[in-house]
Amino acid sequence: MRSLTMWARLKSPWVLHFNSGACNGCDIEVVALLTPRYDVERFGIKLEPSPRHADVLLTTGTVTKQCVQRLKRIYDQMPEPKFVVAIGACACSGGVFKDNYTVFGGVDKVVPVNAYIPGCPPKPEAIIDGVVKLLGSLESSESEAKPNASA
């Protein structure tokens, strides 16, 4: 049963996109992923409206002090196992806005991050690369953990 759910999770990760204080540059590149040129639906990636349905949280933007609570709450609402991808320089470390008076910092100060995709904004190809690398690392760690499991 576990291998079935893991297979579903890796072959069709459902993502939730949350903007915690971004300039929209990274957000429009994330939305561009769903459009015909990049079309991540062929990887099974689907944009979900609710945190309760999502496997992967794509966060963009630096975390402002007003968004700290909301980000933590959304992360807590996601069911295990969950993964967080920080997209853009601001999500990784605060970017140009680091040390401003309402900026808390990068996403990893609030929730644990599994993948960092730097760029300002990163091109959609870079975002796809990051997500695919994350799925690949999960797949290899899964197969290491259970060497006798049937695929």
Partner 1 sequence: MQRKIGIAGNLLADQLGKATIQTEPTLNRNIIKNLLETDDEACIIALTGLDLGENIGLMYHIRTKGLVVTVRTEVPKNDPKIATITDIIPGAGFHEREAADLLGVSFEGHPNLRRLVLPEDWPQGLYPLRKDAKLEGMPSAIGAANCTTQPEMKVQESQTDSRLVNIIVGPQHPALLEPEKFSLKVDGETVVDVEPRIGYVHRGVEKAAEQRTYLQDVYLIERICGICNSCHALTFVGAVEKILKTEVPNRANYIRTIILELNRLHSHLLLLGHAGLEIGYEALFQYMWRDREPIMDLTELLTGNRVISSSMTIGGVRRDLREEDVPKVKTQLSVLRKKMDFYRSLYEKEPSLKMRTQNVGVLSKEDAIRLCVVGPVARASGVKTDVRKDEPYAAYGEIPFKSITRTEGDTYARLLIRLDEITESINIIEYALDHMPSGPYRVRVPRIVVAGEAINRVEAPRGELFHYVKSNGTAYPERVKVRTPTFANLPSFLKTAIGGSIADVPANFVSLDPCFSCTDR
Site of interaction with partner 1 (CB under 8 A): 18-29, 31-32, 35-37, 47, 49-51, 61-62, 64-70, 72-74, 95-97, 99-104, 109-110, 120-121, 123
| Sign, Cα dihedral of 119, 115, 91, 82 | positive
Can you read off the two tokens belonging to residue 145?
């953990």
C-beta closer to partner 1: residue 95 or 135: 95
CB 86 within 8 A of CB 119: no
C-beta closer to partner 1: residue 18 or 116: 18
Closest CA to 30 of 106, 130, 112, 97: 130
C-beta closer to partner 1: residue 86 or 103: 103
CB 92 within 8 A of CB 116: yes
Q: Give least dist CB 97 to partner 1, A.
A: 4
Q: Give least dist CB 144 to partner 1, A.
A: 33
Helix (H) or strand (E) holding 132: helix 124-145
